Structure formats: C-alpha cells, structure tokens
C-alpha cells in the first residue's frame, strides 16, 4: 500500500507530512532526531517514523554525527513529504540533495568576515610597529 | 547407566539487535541458532558465553567474504581457504573436549545431574563433539584491507563553513556493513568516504556489537601485550581481539602476529592446541618457513600423525622447496615425508631423525 500524503490526511485538511528535526537531549546539550511527522503536530510529540539523528555538538574526534535512513527518506519524499530548511541543508552537505544556497551564502559571509578580521589585525600590527 | 553432569549451554539465538549482514549469512546464522543440549563428562558447570556466539556469527560472516577474495592469487600455491589446507589444520588442532569446554569466567549455575543409558551418553558425547567443532571454527586469514581514499566532491566555496567535520552514516537495516555509505564533509568543503577506522567506529555507534568497544582497549598496546604473554593468557587476548577488530584490519593482523611470535619464541604451542587459533598459528609459521619448533614439540608429545600432516601442509604451501620436490619424485608418505623434510629443510635434523627412528622401532615392536 502506498502512503500517499493526501490519502493519509483525510481528516487533516491542509496538512502534510514533513521531515524535520525534533529536539531532545538535556539542558545545554541539544540532540535532534530526524523525523517524518505531520505538519501540525508539536515539534517533539508523536511522529510517524524516525529517519535518523543529528548531534550538533562535535565529539572527541571533532565530528558532528549525522545518521540518515536514505531508503525511508526516499519513500517519504515520494509520498509527498516536505523537508525543512535545516534538514535540506544537512542532506545537501551529505550529497543526497544538491547543496542548499544558504549553505554557500553562509560560507561566503564567514569568509568575508574572516578576511575583514585579518585586514583589521594586520593594520593594528602595523600601527603597533610604527609606534 | 551413568551419572553425568549436564551443564546448561544455551546457545544464544540471534538477538534482535544483531543485524543480518548478507543473504548467505542468514543460512549460517540459522544453523547456529538451533538449541543444543550437550552433556559433557566433567565436574564443572560450563556455560556458552553469549559473545562466543556473536564471535561465531562474525567469523561465519567473514567466511562468506573471504571465499570471494582469495580467488585472484596464484593458482598452484595453496591458500588458507582450500579444503585440503583447512582439513589438515583442523586435524592438527585436535579435539580435546576437556580443554574446549573448560570453565570460562561466567555466572555459575549449580550443575544438573542426569541419569542416562549408554546409548544416550554416546549420543551426548557426539553432540558435544559437534558443538566443539563449531567452537573451533578458525578465524579467517584475509589479505589486509586497502585504505579508502575516495573523494566524492571538492567544493572550495564551502571552505570555512564550520570548524567541525560532518559524518553522515546510512542507517538502513538491510544493508551489509561492508556496503554501507559513510561519508565525511570536511571543513574545507571536500566530501570524502570515511576511512576504515572511522567506519568501524561509526558502525559500532549505530549498530553496536556485544563485546566490542568504540576505542580499542589498552590491552592491545605492545607493553600490555608483553605483560599478558608472561601470564600465559594468549587465548584470552586472541578472543578479545576477534571480538574487537575486523579480520582484515591492520590491528587484528598485528596482534595476531605478535601473539604467534611470542608463542614461537617460548615454544608455548600447547596453549593454543585445542583452540580455534591453532590453525592460524600453524599457517603463520608455515608461511614463514619456521615449523621446526612446532614439529619438535609435536614429536616430543608423540603426535606422529600431526607431524606428518604438518610437513604435508608445508609441501603444499611451498611447492618449489626442495623437500616438496623430493617428496613429489619419491611419492613419499608418512614417516618418509618427515625424513625428507629433516634432510633438506630443517635446522634440527638430528632430533627429527631420532624421533622418526624411535617411532619406527615402536611400530615394529607393536606389530610383533
């Protein structure tokens, strides 16, 4: 049986399935589950299926661990699920989706900020040397 | 009718958490998960450790892999996976039931005593032997795995987007671990496949296997290994090594090599005699052409058949060596093989010839 999104939502007019991050964890320690849920549900409440996880804090080896169940993500997208921005960004970084434009924009902004910082520190050093 | 103790050996069936790695593996694991009650004539309680079963599952899984990998090496030279070689190695390993089923450090249950007829006892011993054969399955000898250096994308425009790497794992249950997609996005923007160490670590995170730690325990460092070898606990180290590492990883081979070297240096062959590592030890020595120590040890313990098989194995693996060629031309069998080997290849020719002579005399005496 194919779970067509509109078929699932006979009593749920105007809603749709989303693939989004559900927050869990503890104080000052976030942990996200990548989840297929109805649009109108609360962020952390009952979901249809868990499709993976995302740990935003890097571990000892400086890695942020992300897990995806690609088969099921493909199935839900085929059923008409939407993805939220952070999920789309992560999938773009993983190579499953094309790169999200905001990822590139953020990277460029950071590079610009970093180069301005450099110029600032260089000029400061020059001024100090001149004194 | 005899009184015997019956230890409970619940051979753990496939756990819910363990993943099925390949189609052919399912058949192996199904066979392994049937419950067998074994009656052993010993006074101790013996319980099959659960992680022995998972180890067996690992080795059965790896056997599937090795069958495909060993096909491309030169044909005349014998390989570890040949039926003849495996046959010889299993026979040399021996089947000392008392040693195979000796008590492992486990939770003890009080022994159960059963009253059985003679036929039932024989049946029970036969089942115990089958179980022992299963426990004695050798860990595979595979060529070392090549490092993964695959880069999928190089995106310079992403440089500096983040200070940490992103590691993406595919957590689909139906994919065998060897074929799982694990990619890493570096802060410099390159998307590459994960290295073997990263793969092992992440597969253990998402699909944990019992007994395996995420970082290898410090027992596998050289100084600690030396301490353990002095205490004669080679088998425990090797068991832990099998659980922790993959059979074709560099660390696994390194630990095995260190263990075998130490055993050969001190001549402690008997420690591994009825265990599943004896085949690997023999193979390592035969490949290094250093079977003299082992041969002498066998002759000292009056294991003539084993010694003959060992020399036969040597001739199979090194068909260009002199002793092999002489054996071919003379079509030698049994003790003549030993004599030829002693003549041409061995360093301790005297001892071997003396042992062969005593054996022949003993045969001649017994035939009268």
Nearest to A22 by CA among A14, A32, A13, A12: A32
More confident residue, A48 or B132: A48
HEC string for chain B: CEEEEECCCCCCCCCCCCCCCCHHHHHHHHHHCCCCCCCCCCCCCCCCCHHHHHHHHHHHHHHHHHHHHHHHCCCCCCCCCCHHHHHHHHHHHCCCHHHHCCCCCCCCCCCEEEEECHHHHHHHHHHHHHHHHHHCCCCCCCCCCCCCCCEEEECHHHCCCCCCEEEEEECCCCCCHHHCCEEEECCCCEEEECCHHHHHHHHHHHCCCCCCCCCCCHHHCHHHHHHHHHCCCHHHHHHHHHHHCCCCCHHHHHHHHHHHHHHHHHCCHHHHCCCCCHHHHHHHHHHCCCCHHHHHHHHHCCCHHHHHHHHHHHHHHCCCCHHHHHHHHHCCCCHHHHHHHHHHCCCCHHHHHHHHHHHHHHHHHHHC
C-beta atoms of A68 and B168 within 8 A:
yes
CA distance A51 to chain B (A): 8
**Residue A1 falls within a domain, yes or no?**
no
pLDDT band, residue A50 (cuts 50/70/90) = very high
Identify whether residues A81 and A110 lie together within a single domain. no
Identify whether residues A47 and A77 lie together within a single domain. yes
Q: Which of B47-51, B76-80, B207-211, B240-244 has the lowest mean pLDDT?
A: B47-51
C-beta atoms of B166 and A110 within 8 A:
no
Q: What is the pLDDT of residue B122?
A: 92
pLDDT band, residue B92 (cuts 50/70/90) = confident
The residue extents of the domains of chain B are 151-194, 289-367
Nearest to B172 among A71, A99, A107 (CB): A71
Is the pLDDT confidence value at B133 over 90? no
**pLDDT tens digit string along B38-75?**
443 434 444 444 444 444 444 444 443 333 333 333 34
Identify whether residues A92 and A103 lie together within a single domain. no
More confident residue, B267 or A119: A119
Taking only residues 21 to 60 of chain A, the set having a beta carbon closer than 8 angstroms to any beta carbon of chain B reads 52, 58
Is the pLDDT confidence value at A8 over 90? no
Q: Which of B168-177, B224-233, B313-322 has the lowest mean pLDDT?
A: B313-322
Nearest to A104 among B157, B167, B205 (CB): B157
Identify whether residues A36 and A71 lie together within a single domain. yes
Q: What is the pLDDT of residue B29?
A: 39
**pLDDT tens digit string along B143-166?**
888 888 888 888 888 887 788 999
The residues near B22 (Cβ < 8 Å, ≥ 6 apart) are B61, B64, B176
C-beta atoms of A94 and B166 within 8 A:
yes
pLDDT band, residue B12 (cuts 50/70/90) = very low
The pLDDT > 70 percentage for chain B reads 77
pLDDT band, residue A11 (cuts 50/70/90) = low
The pLDDT > 90 percentage for chain B reads 10
Is the pLDDT confidence value at B331 over 80? no
Q: Where are the beta strands (DSSP E) in A1-131?
A: 17-26, 29-38, 49-54, 63-68, 82-83
Identify whether residues A113 and A85 lie together within a single domain. no
CATH classification of the domain holding A46: 3.30.1320.10
Q: Which chain B residue's Cα is nearest to A66?
A: B168
Q: Which chain B residue's Cα is nearest to A100?
A: B158
Number of Cβ pairs < 8 A linking chain A and chain B: 78
Overall average pLDDT of the B19-34 stretch: 42
Identify whether residues A14 and A31 lie together within a single domain. yes
Identify whether residues A20 and A68 lie together within a single domain. yes
**Using a CB-CB distance cutoff of 8 angstroms, which residues of chain A are in contact with residue B202?**
65
More confident residue, B121 or B349: B121
Q: What is the pLDDT of residue B201?
A: 92
**pLDDT tens digit string along B257-299?**
888 888 888 888 887 777 788 888 888 888 888 888 888 888 7
Q: What is the pLDDT of residue A82?
A: 92
C-beta atoms of A65 and B169 within 8 A:
yes
More confident residue, B194 or B38: B194
- pTM score of the predicted model: 0.69
Taking only residues 13 to 52 of chain B, the set having a beta carbon closer than 8 angstroms to any beta carbon of chain A reads none
Is the pLDDT confidence value at B14 over 70? no
Range of the domain at A39: 7-97
pLDDT band, residue B203 (cuts 50/70/90) = very high
**Using a CB-CB distance cutoff of 8 angstroms, which residues of chain A are in contact with residue B155?**
99
- Total domains in chain A come to 2
More confident residue, A5 or B182: B182
Is the pLDDT confidence value at A127 over 80? yes
Q: What is the pLDDT of residue B49?
A: 42
Cα–Cα distance for residue pair B85/B93, rounded to 1 Å: 12
Chain A interface includes B195 (CB < 8 A): no
Identify whether residues A11 and A28 lie together within a single domain. yes
**pLDDT tens digit string along B237-246?**
888 898 898 8
């Amino acid at each position: 049986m194919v779970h067509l999104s509109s078929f699932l939502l006979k009593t749920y007019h105007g809603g749709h399935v989303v693939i989004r991050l559900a927050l869990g964890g503890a104080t000052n320690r976030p942990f996200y589950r990548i989840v297929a849920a109805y649009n109108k549900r609360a962020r952390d409440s009952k979901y249809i299926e868990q499709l993976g996880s995302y740990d935003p804090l890097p571990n000892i080896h400086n890695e942020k661990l992300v897990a995806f169940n690609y088969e099921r993500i493909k199935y839900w997208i085929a059923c008409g699920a939407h993805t939220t921005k952070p999920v789309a960004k992560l999938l773009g970084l993983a190579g499953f989706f094309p790169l999200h434009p905001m990822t590139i924009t953020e990277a460029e902004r950071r590079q610009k900020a970093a180069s301005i910082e450099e110029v600032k520190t260089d000029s400061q050093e020059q001024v100090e040397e001149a004194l | 009718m005899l009184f015997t103790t019956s230890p409970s050996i619940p051979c753990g069936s496939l756990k819910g958490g363990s993943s099925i790695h390949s189609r052919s593996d399912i058949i192996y694991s199904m066979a392994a998960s049937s419950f067998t009650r074994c009656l052993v004539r010993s006074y101790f309680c013996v319980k099959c450790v659960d992680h022995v079963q998972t180890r067996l599952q690992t080795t059965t899984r790896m056997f599937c892999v090795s069958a495909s990998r060993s096909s491309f090496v030169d044909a005349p030279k014998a390989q570890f996976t040949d039926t003849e070689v495996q046959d010889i190695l299993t026979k040399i390993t021996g089947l000392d039931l008392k040693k195979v089923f000796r008590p492992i450090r486990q939770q003890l249950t009080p022994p159960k005593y059963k009253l059985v007829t003679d036929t039932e006892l024989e049946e029970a011993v036969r089942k115990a032997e089958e179980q022992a054969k299963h426990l004695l399955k050798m860990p595979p000898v595979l060529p070392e795995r090549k490092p993964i250096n695959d880069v999928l994308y190089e995106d310079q425009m992403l440089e500096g987007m983040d200070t940490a790497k992103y590691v993406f794992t595919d957590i689909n249950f139906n994919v065998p671990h060897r074929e799982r997609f694990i990619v890493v996005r570096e802060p410099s923007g390159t998307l590459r496949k994960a290295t073997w160490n990263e793969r092992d670590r992440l597969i253990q995170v998402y699909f944990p296997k019992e007994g395996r730690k995420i970082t290898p325990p410090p027992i596998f460092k050289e100084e600690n290994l030396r301490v353990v070898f002095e205490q004669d606990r080679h088998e425990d180290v090797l068991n832990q090594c099998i659980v922790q590492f993959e059979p074709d990883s560099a660390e696994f081979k390194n630990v095995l090599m260190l263990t075998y070297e130490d055993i050969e240096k001190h001549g402690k062959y008997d420690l591994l005699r009825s265990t599943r590592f004896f085949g690997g030890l023999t193979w390592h020595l035969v490949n290094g052409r250093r079977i003299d120590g082992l041969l002498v040890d066998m002759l000292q313990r009056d294991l003539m058949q084993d010694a003959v098989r060992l020399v036969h194995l040597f001739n199979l693996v090194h068909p260009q060596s002199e002793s092999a060629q002489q054996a071919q031309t003379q079509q030698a069998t049994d003790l003549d093989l030993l004599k030829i080997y002693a003549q041409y290849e061995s360093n301790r020719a005297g001892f071997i010839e003396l042992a062969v002579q005593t054996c022949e005399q003993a045969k001649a005496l017994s035939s009268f």
